[in-house]
Structure 1
Amino acid sequence: MASYDVIIIGSGPGGYVSAIRCAQLGLKTACVEGRDTLGGTCLNVGCIPSKALLHATHMLHEAEHNFADMGLKGKTPSVDWDAMLAYKDKTVGQNTGGIEFLFKKNKVDWLKGWGSIPEAGKVKVGDEVHEAKHIIIATGSEPAPLKGVEVDEETVVTSTGALKLKKIPKSLVVIGGGVIGLELGSVYARLGSEVTVVEYLDAITPGQDAEVARQFQKLLTKQGIKFVLGAAVQGVSVKNKKATVSYKMRKDDAEAEITADTVLLATGRRPFTDGLGLSDLGVALSDRGQIEVDGSYKTNVDGIYAIGDAIKGPMLAHKAEDEGMAVAEMLAGQKPHVNYNVIPGVIYTHPEVGSVGETEETLKKAGRAYKVGKFPFLGNARAKANHAGDGFVKILADKETDRILGAHIIGPMAGDLIHEICVAMEFGAAAEDLARTCHAHPTYSEAVREAALACGDGAIHA
């Protein structure tokens, strides 16, 4: 029996970051992982492989639509699907191998196998039981099921199966208009699939700023993706390797169906805590299966903590990372803090969507007076030169104090640009602070400055 200061169960972004931070702070640390590779869902079958396919297919889109205009002549590339999947797998391998290297560098023990907690202070992995002063649950999430939809990961797939289809489908139905569905739908639309998104609500990307969501849908429609909104899926049947999705329109109960080669179920995710033994331990769970924790990530059982997708809050890898570092620092005697008002969200389609903080809808609901500064990428010289003029930057600031309350970007490099505003918000900056900061020319970031200027006397190039 080995004894540790901390054992983390799960090696996803929350788990592996927490493990490394614990070790850096002098705690004897182990991390439990049952996969053959570290990194959890994100690195193995989520964030990283999907971004590899998004990047590859965006290059294809550029070759098909923009190369000739830039004077790049030649035959349009053909798609070798097996080679593209191999590139994706190579990317995954480089990243997961990198985590294993970091574990060795920081002297984190990898306990290989699936973990359970037979009692407080003990973690069982296989036939071995290890002792720990502190146990951190970082087991992440899994695709949420939908009544009437049976997943086989071949014809009806989750995001996991969508990343390794044997061939590119001629037609794809995506159930769910959230981040995962739109990113993977975008991949296959670029590869030539006829993609239809069926969404229960009347708008895509629930919780997103409504103006951004509308513009986003228009741009995706322009790229060939079809949308059926306000539709409640009743079930999916499979016959002769074809899937038929039946749905009912919420506004009038009209019934319809659509048949496709592949159906992607992307209706969200739920905490994955199976096999941990939480019920026997008496660990409190919410109605949605989330582990209940206090402000220090402690459960109601002494010595057991939880972070990431397993607890309440947005299911984002970087949120889990911040929580993983925070609990590590807390266990080492420090006083960390996670600012949940400044956690960005990104959709990695093209154009990208980046957001942080309040939306117009949440501010109106709260009755808070605010002002809006907007700037279109069509007014940005770099964007025009790069065939990337779609979209805009939108900054929301307090009407009286000018303090930045939120921002929403749809356009080129939105996922990177949003962090300038995150830093500004972390330091309580006003829109004028951003507007008076010199930005290099020509860069996409100038659009952020222009939006900040628009919160005051007005943008220069609009």
Structure 2
Amino acid sequence: MLERNETIYDLVVLGSGPGGYAAAFRAADLGLNVALIERYETLGGVCLNVGCIPSKALLHIAGDIRTAQEAKHGVTFLKPKIDLDAVRKHKESTVNKLTGNLALMAKQRNVALYIGEGRFSSQHAIEIHSNDAKKGASTDTLTFKHTIIAIGSAAVHLPFIPEDDRIWDSSRALELPYVPNHLVVLGGGIIGLEMATVYEALGAKVTIVEQGKQLMPGADADQVRVFQKANTSRMTFKTRTKMTKVDHSGQMLNLTLTTDAGDETLEADALLVAVGRKPNGFNAGIPEININVDDRGFIITDDMCRTSIDHIFAIGDVTHGPMLAHKASHEGHVAAEVAAGHIAHFSSLGIPSIAYTYPEVAWVGLTETQAKAQGINYKVATFPWSASGRAIASGQTNGATKLIYEPEYHRLLGAGVVGAHAGELLGELTLALEYGATLEDIALTIHAHPSLHESIGLAAELGAGTITDYPNPSSVKRRE
């Protein structure tokens, strides 16, 4: 028998990913009566369950393996013995700890949790359809003064890719079903390269197939080259290459690749398809209640995260901008505050991006590629880690810190770091960007020596013309 219930809330949040739970918790802290809807049994969305968090748990293990393999300081490590069950257990315990904490915080804040499929039935109501194994099917109708849509995105599926246990999306790859002898990764973006890093470290031969001219679209080519050089002996990279056919009838997957030079075939034990994600804006009855959605499925919002209907907000992957968890959580705060009657805007100058590969590649603000495309006048100061005391001492010289700045006033426009722990160095640069810092502001900030973050200060000194730890192009030649 179908049970029906109806409840009224100040705010209903649809989706419990990083944006959704941040919005729900912030709104509850501001005194609103809040409900949070999640289709799966655990909170956290894609990021915590099958995305950022489990991938970083595996990448940490991959990094340990790489560090041991590349040690050249008089210490030799034995060949790693991989216990795949133990590796999975580490990943799963990491996820469980974080999702469990979310459920606890929701309870502490009196946020009502509803597990089921949420769908708009009107501009002021969402129906939740659930089918509990013990309680049976039920429908809850939540009416609200405001709602925040945080239903994220989904992996892109290509029509010519068949269904097969050997063909994975990123969620399946994170389950570590087995370590294939030869893994082909279709897509050279961050997700594909992170998974390639994990599986190569665990013992797979890895081939990356990327249709574009470079790996990691969005990053500058000079930084990608550092990553690629560090991995040339470990992975095969095929850029400007399109996969056109997948034959799964035999013991091996037979892949047809097309380049300007013609077709070639490649055999693989497993294929990971990581060609991007698409927003879920056509789902959950969103178009039916006349919220403006573009032809790609992105919900149109303003800088207060409002949709075309004033009391309905949208945040995260389902809206325009980079599909990143930290962007979603900040938007969640803005939407919750506006719903609670506060004045708030989402107006960041830079949203950091990090590829947690080996080495890491990280950037924020304007890239050189963007500056050239937009006709912006800029200059670059790049400090190589081959001149960094800490990098030399730790055998991590395969890196560089790059600052992009205005030629006249030296105001920071963007930055990129490639190397060990590059993502950890991006915080200072993101803050500097938001504060409108100049090269001189950064250079005059005392950075600890020796440290990797010292490379930021040295890059700024290089651009400002005050550097003494590296040849100074601005030095004045003394007259004889």
TM-score by length of 1: 0.95
| 1:11 Cα deviation from its structure 2 partner | 0.5
Q: What letter corresponds to residue 431 of structure 2 in structure 1? A: V
- Residues 234 and 358 from structure 1, CA distance in 2 versus in 1: closer, same or farther, beyond 3 angstroms? same
Deviation at residue 241 of structure 1 after TM alignment: 4.7
Q: Does 1:188 align with 2:199?
A: yes
Q: Which amino acid aligns with 1:131?
A: T
Q: Write the distance in 1 (CA, Å) between the matches of 2:436 and 2:158.
A: 42
Q: Equivalent residue for 2:19? A: 14
| Alignment-mate amino acid for residue 140 of structure 2 | E
In 2, Cα distance between the equivalents of 1:429 and 1:129? 50
2:254 alignment partner AA: T
Task: Report the Cα offset of residue 71 of structure 1.
Answer: 5.1
Residues 301 and 368 from structure 1, CA distance in 2 versus in 1: closer, same or farther, beyond 3 angstroms?
A: closer
Matched, 1:323 2:322: no
Instruction: Report how far residue 73 of structure 1 moved.
Output: 5.2
- Please list every run of 5 or more consecutive structure 1 residues that lacks an aligned counterpart in the other structure: none
Q: How far is 1:151 from its partner? A: 4.4
Residue 228 (str. 1) matches residue 238 (str. 2)? yes
In the alignment, does 2:340 pair up with 1:332? yes
| Aligned-pair CA distance for 1:259 | 1.2
Closer, same or farther: CA 161–364 of 1 in aligned 2, 3 Å: same
Provide the rounded CA distance (Å) in 2 between the counterparts of 1:445 and 1:91: 28
User: How far, CA to CA, are the matches of 2:40 and 2:211 in structure 1?
Assistant: 34
Give the whole-Å Cα distance in 1 for the aligned partners of 2:298 and 2:461: 42
Q: 2:317 aligns with which of 309, 325, 329?
A: 309
* Aligned partners of 1:31 and 1:110 also within 8 Å: yes
Letter of the 1:160 partner, please give it. S
Q: Is the 8 A contact 1:183 1:348 kept in 2?
A: yes
- For 2:161, the equivalent position in structure 1 comes to 149
C-alpha distance after superposition, 1:355-403 (max 9, x if no partner): 0111112222332222211111122222222221111000011000100
Listed as ranges, the matches of 1:91-130 within 5 Å are 91-126=94-129, 127-130=139-142
Aligned to 1:207: 218
Choose 1 or 2 for highest CA Rg.
Answer: 2
- Counterparts of 2:367 and 2:177 in 1: how far apart (Å)? 40
**Of residues 263, 270, 292 in structure 2, which corresponds to 1:262?**
270
Aligned-partner residue type, residue 230 of structure 2: L
**Residue 358 of structure 2 corresponds to residue 350 of structure 1:** yes
**Separation in 1 of the partners of 2:103 and 2:235?**
39
- After TM superposition, the score normalised by the length of structure 2 is 0.92
> What SS is found at the alignment partner of 2:127?
strand
State yes or no: 1:165 paired with 2:173: no
Distance 1:166 1:362, change over 3 A: closer
Q: Give the 3-state SS of the residue equivalent to 1:455 in structure 2.
A: helix
Which sections of structure 2, spanning at least 5 residues, go unmatched?
Answer: 1-5, 130-138, 471-480
The C-alpha deviation readout for 1:55-93, integer Å capped at 9, x for no partner, is: 012112222331xx4455553330001110111111110
1:244 corresponds to 2:254: yes
After superposition, the Cα gap between the structure-2 partners of 1:212 and 1:148, relative to the gap in structure 1 and judged at 3 Å, is same
Aligned to 2:400: 392
Whether 1:449 aligns to 2:457 is yes
Give the distance between the partners of 2:214 and 2:21, measured in 1 at CA: 35
Change (3 A) 1:405 1:151: farther
Matched letter for residue 410 of structure 1: V
Structure-to-structure mapping, 1:351-430, within 5 angstroms: 351-430=359-438
1:42 counterpart = 2:55: no
Pairwise CA distance, 1:167:
1.3
In terms of mean alpha carbon deviation, does 335-344 or 307-316 score higher? 335-344
Deviations 1:19-49 (A, max 9, x none): 1111111111111002111000000000000
- The alignment-based identity, stated in percent, is 39
What code does the residue aligned with 2:20 have?
A: G
Query: Secondary structure of the equivalent of 1:48?
Result: helix
Q: Is the 8 A contact 1:352 1:414 kept in 2?
A: yes
Pairs aligned (count):
456
8 Å Cα contact 2:303/2:346 also seen in 1: no
CA distance in 1, matches of 2:428, 2:310: 39
Of 64, 69, 72, the residue aligned with 2:69 is 64
8 Å contact from structure 1 (residues 170, 193) kept in 2: yes
For 1:444, what is the secondary structure of its paired residue?
A: coil
Q: Which one of the candidate residues 21, 27, 47 is aligned to 2:32?
A: 27
Quote how far apart the aligned CAs of 1:150 are.
Answer: 2.7
2:351–2:364: 8 Å Cα contact kept in structure 1?
yes
The structural deviation recorded for 1:145 is 1.4
Please state how far the C-alpha of 1:231 moved relative to its aligned partner. 1.1
Counterpart-to-counterpart distance in 2, 1:203 and 1:181 = 13
One-letter identity of the residue aligned with 2:243: V
Specify the code of the residue in structure 1 equivalent to 2:27: C
Amino acid in structure 2 at the alignment position of 1:186? T
Query: Cα 1:447–1:151, aligned 2, differ >3 Å: closer, same or farther?
Result: farther
SS for the counterpart of 2:361 is: strand
For residues 388-419 of structure 1, what are the alpha-carbon distances to aligned partners after superposition, in whole Å with 9 as ceiling and x for unaligned? 11110000110001000000100121111011
Cα deviation for residue 284 of structure 1 reads 1.9
1:273 CA drift (Å): 4.2
Of 359-368 and 302-311, more deviation after overlay is shown by 359-368
Query: Does structure 2 retain, via aligned residues, the 8 Å contact 1:155–1:241?
Result: no
Q: Which amino acid aligns with 1:454?
A: L
Alpha-carbon distance in 1 for matches of 2:79, 2:206: 22
